[in-house]
Chains A and B, each alone.
Chain A
Amino acid sequence: MDFRHDEDPLLFQETVRDFLTKECTPEAVRAIWESKTGRSPALWKKLAEIGVTGLLAPEEHGGMGFDETTLVLLLEEAGRAALPEPVIGTSAVAVPLLGEVGGALASEWLPRIAAGDAIVAVGHPVSPFVEDAHVAELLLLAQGEELHAVKRGDARITEQPANDPGRRIASVAFTPSAATRVAEGERARALLAVALDRGALACAAEALGVCDRLITQAVSYTAQRKQFGKPVGSFQAVKHLLANVKVKLEYARPVVWRAAWSVAQGSAHRATHVSMAKLAACEAATLGAKSALQAHGAIGYTWEQDLHLWMRRAWSLEQSWGRGSFHLGRVRRAVLEDGLPIGPGTTFLGGA
């Protein structure tokens, strides 16, 4: 038992953090927001160069061959930078899904994703919308009990402008055929189940970084802003507001790490662990958004202040890959109906 990350993932996290601090500044995020696609092929390409896009892809397909315990560290950095690129849909979900589907789909698309030359979107029944469908060359779409791979040109895509300009979603319609079908029945169900868990885990990891950044922004603003002759951050009411967010954050992080371990190991309780992580991290991030806004006061309520880059991210992560009510329902069924072991000593049962 050792609940620490190895050195390599931690070094990788540092690299990604340094990269995003330089390349994904608030000004850069705003510029991408205002672009037509809301995505930057140049930034995606650079992310590929440091190994982020194909992190989970096997090395023979040009990837890094890491697992989800490393992925969550990098996605925390993506959240900290409010990175508006498809690291969740493509890197965290589509890559392993393509790997599991295997065959020509894997060998054609994985190297292109790893090289930063393609975006692949995933449409899952948990949401009526597909993120990044408008820029994806390939869409992996659920249709009933089947999974289909559809070229963008063969799908009807209706963009749905959303609250977070960094999240581009669309309704997607297509005509399923034998040519597009890649899995059906039990196999499709299993592929979609793990895809959902990977998507939710990725959102949780990003939410940690978003929450952390919201706290940092609020701490730094309230240290400078003076009222009554003192920094507003010296008032207990403001301190306690942000301390509460910190408590939520620090008790969400190990839940996310454990869920990453469970996904990587294919644990029997993978789905429950992921739902616990999504709930804990998104609750921390949305509390962070509300509290950081309050700590800023009116200036935080403006478009000009950068705070809303992370507030919007917190809200859109809550909307992605299953909202809180969905995940709470899964945990409730596991605990109250499906006999998940509970009590002292049960935390790591079914862990591998």
Chain B
Amino acid sequence: MMSYFAKMKGSSTSPPAVGYREILWSWMGAFLGMLSVSYINFKMLTGPNSVFLIASFGASAVLIYGAPKSPLAQPRNVIGGHVLAAIIGVIGYKLLPDLIWIAAPLVVATAIALMHFTKTLHPPAGATGLVAVIGGPAIYDLGFSFALTPIGLGALILTLIGILFNNIPSNRRYPEFWI
């Protein structure tokens, strides 16, 4: 019982801060990546219910451009995690459309479990699953195609820009692995 509380004190230290150059490259990468999905959303899609800019992409940008070395930021995780969680989310909403308050936690928890199982853990994908459940009519109308567009395509674009951009500076590289 004592060790239970003792563990709450923490046992390690925060990792070191990154340098200014790293911060600048992170900023530029994220801006470019988000600009692409934002541009598609606001400038290319004109339909009344069309949506491309999903909140969880902002979180993916943190990983792909802010922590490109992280296993959580690799293409397998970004694309696999988002698509998997989107499918879980759509299923969750279709099964429990009148019990959103149960569907929401169910989808997120199941998405985490399946991402672990498939080695595609990507934290922002938890939000993608949630969006499928609470995103409103614009999302509900997409049905399972939500997993392909905007989610699959958006994740692919963010990853591609990560590959093109993160490899420009000599001390950065992306991805660490593909499969």
Partners in one complex: no
Residues on A facing B (Cβ under 8 Å):
none
Residues on B facing A (Cβ under 8 Å):
none
